[in-house]
Amino acid sequence: MTTPPLHPSLSSLSFLLGIWRGTGKGKYPSIEDFEYGEEISFSHVGKPFLIYTQRSWDLQNHNGLHIESGYLRPVGNHRAELVLSQPTGITEMHEGEIISTKVEFSTLEVSCTPSAKQVSSVKRILEVTGKTLNYNVAIEAVGYPLLPHLTSQLVLS
C-alpha cells in the first residue's frame, strides 16, 4: 500500500498531518484536576478529508483514559467541518475557521445518547506554533457554562 497524494483541497489543513504526542492538563468544576498523556493523529487516504484519532492515558499507570475519532473536511474558503464520536456516547459536529496554522471550531451540534453525561457545547481549538500542536477544549456540560476543560501540548513523533 502506497500513500496516495494529498487531495488538493487539504493544502490549508496539511499543517496538522502526522502523529502528535505530549501531555495535557484537565479540569472542570465537577471533577478533580488531572494530567494526562495524549496522542493525536491526522492522516489522509487521498480523499478530501483528514482522519482524526485521539487517545489519552494516565501518566502514572499508563491506563487508557479517553479515545475519540472522526473526520475533518475542508469546505470552501479557509473553513472546515469536524465530525467525531466518543465512546462515552457523544457525537460532535463543528464548523471551523482556518487562520494560518490555527483552526478554531464552533459547535454546530453536540448529541448525547440517553446513557451519556449531558454535554451541550464543545469549543475546540487546534493551533500549531513552532513545532508544538496546542489543543484546547472547553465544554458546557452537566449544568455548568462553557469552561476550559483540556489543554495539551503535543509534538510530531
Nearer of residues 91 and 151 to its own copies, judged by Cβ: 91
Q: Which residues bind its own copies (CB under 8 A)?
A: 45-47, 49, 51, 53, 64, 67, 69-71, 73, 75, 81, 83-87, 89-93, 95, 108-109, 111, 113-116
Nearer of residues 29 and 87 to its own copies, judged by Cβ: 87
Concatenated DSSP letters of 113-140: -TTS--EEEEEEEEEEETTEEEEEEEEE
Q: Which residues pair with 51 in a beta bridge?
A: 43, 71
Nearer of residues 43 and 129 to its own copies, judged by Cβ: 43
Backbone φ and ψ for 148, nearest 5 degrees, come out as -55, 135
Q: How far is the CB of 25 from its own copies (least distance, A)?
A: 22
Which regions of the chain does DSSP assign to beta strands (E)?
18-28, 31-43, 50-58, 64-74, 79-86, 90-99, 102-112, 119-129, 132-141, 147-156
Q: How far is the CB of 32 from its own copies (least distance, A)?
A: 20
Q: How far is the CB of 66 from its own copies (least distance, A)?
A: 10
Nearer of residues 38 and 92 to its own copies, judged by Cβ: 92
